[in-house]
Amino acid sequence: MNAPIPFIDLKRQYAALKAPIAERMQRVLDHGQYIMGPEVGELEGRLAAFTGAAHCITVASGTEALLIALMALNLKPGDEVVTTPFTFAATAEMIVLLGAKPVFVDIEPDTCNIDAALIEAKITPRTRAIMPVSLYGQVADMDAIKAIAERHGLLVIEDAAQSFGATYGIGKSGRKSGNLSTLGCTSFFPSKPLGCYGDGGAIFTNDAALAQACREIRVHGQSARYTHTRVGVGGRMDTLQCAIVLAKLERFEWELDQRRALGARYHALLADVHGVRLLGVRDDRDCVWAQYTVFVENRAAVQAALTAQGIPTAVHYPKPVHHQPAYASLCCPDCCPQSVAAGQQVMSLPMSADLTHEQQDRIVGALQAALVEAAMLALPT
């Protein structure tokens, strides 16, 4: 058997960035300001400039970013937030944690992002916000969502945990994910497009008052030392993690180009492969492929055959949130059939900026063989 291919190759990335990471970490160890050290503000400045947003607030994780953003909007028990069930649980979880209600809208079957055409029917007098998720690294239909929000006086929060670096619009005129809504939330979980070496996240906004609210909520609601103006959380991103992201920014643009090119290459290699349906990519935005996800039948058999060839796969996500026990009471099980169907078929293949063409060719070859094998297993005997 050939050497196993990593699902996400963080080792090669580290090898390429070893010196700047060591230097950045050493600087933090020397100054000793482990909480809210100078790297925190430096990173916030760099990320704000990258996205074009006026304000960036780093926080303890992507989950914390969603929580703090919703707290900054003063989300209250009884409020409703329209969102997608086809996401990581944190999206709906933070809404529920604040006593509000996630109202699930189904996805587009090809992109797996929220179907903007279905949103308006779910808006009620209690709706406060719309929370689209830019899944797999492709921005949701933000212009359509923003137009709906404006018509109904709602706010928009983009869950950009998987899409940092993606653009809406192509090339130089493209606007950056994270800066497409009232508040944009991202994650620096190690496997995301821009990751740290632990937990981290950030909120982006162009609204100075909301930025101030987020900054205060991040430090237990303090507007000044020992003055707790509001109820907050302990939600800071620590200095060492900020230093690591700063080091990783050195080749982030290169990594994004690699991801885009590798995603396009997967699409080309798999275009005519029988038994695989490709993720839909809109031509007015680019995808940074946080996951390279395809749709297959007989997924378990295909995954098993790939595992045997040293090729790891993952499922993002097998069950939509409204089919999870903790959230099942929120809507009827039949409310989002496309999300359920996608959950049965999605399968993510290895993807990272350091994936080589040779590895990618091996993955595609093994997938073709796995599909044939799985189809034979599924035949009636």
Ligand X SMILES: *Cc1c(COP(=O)(O)O)cnc(C)c1O
Binding site for ligand X (CB under 6 A): 61-63, 87-88, 90-91, 133, 159, 161-162, 187, 189, 199, 201
| Choice between 13 and 58, CB closer to ligand X | 58
Note whether 53 and 177 are within 8 A (CB). no
Phi, psi (degrees; rounded to nearest 5) at 195 = -120, 155
Q: Please identify, using beta-carbon distances, which residue of 291 and 298 lies nearer to ligand X.
A: 291
Rg (CA), the chain: 21
CB of 257 to ligand X, least distance (A): 22
Cβ closer to ligand X: 40 or 270?
Answer: 40
Nearest to 183 by CA among 79, 56, 40: 56
Backbone angles phi, psi at 44, to 5 degrees: -60, -40
> Cβ neighbours of residue 236 under 8 Å, at least 6 residues apart?
35, 36, 40, 58, 59, 60, 218, 219
Minimum distance of ligand X from residue 87's CB (angstroms): 5
Alpha-carbon distance of 172 to 323, in angstroms, equals 40
Candidates 68, 53, 182; CA nearest to 128 is: 182
Sign of CA dihedral 360, 362, 365, 368: negative
Distance CA 191, CA 209 (A): 32
Which of residues 185 and 330 has its CB atom nearest to ligand X in the complex? Answer: 185
Q: How far is the CB of 298 from ligand X (least distance, A)?
A: 26
The residue among 240 and 301 lying less far from ligand X, judged by its C-beta, is 240
Which residue in the shown chain puts its C-beta closest to ligand X?
62
Least CB distance from residue 107 to ligand X, whole Å? 13
Q: CB 88 → ligand X: shortest distance, Å?
A: 4
Question: What does DSSP assign to residue 341?
Answer: H
- Write down the least CB distance from residue 114 to ligand X, Å: 12
Q: Among residues 114 and 301, whose Cβ is nearest to ligand X?
A: 114
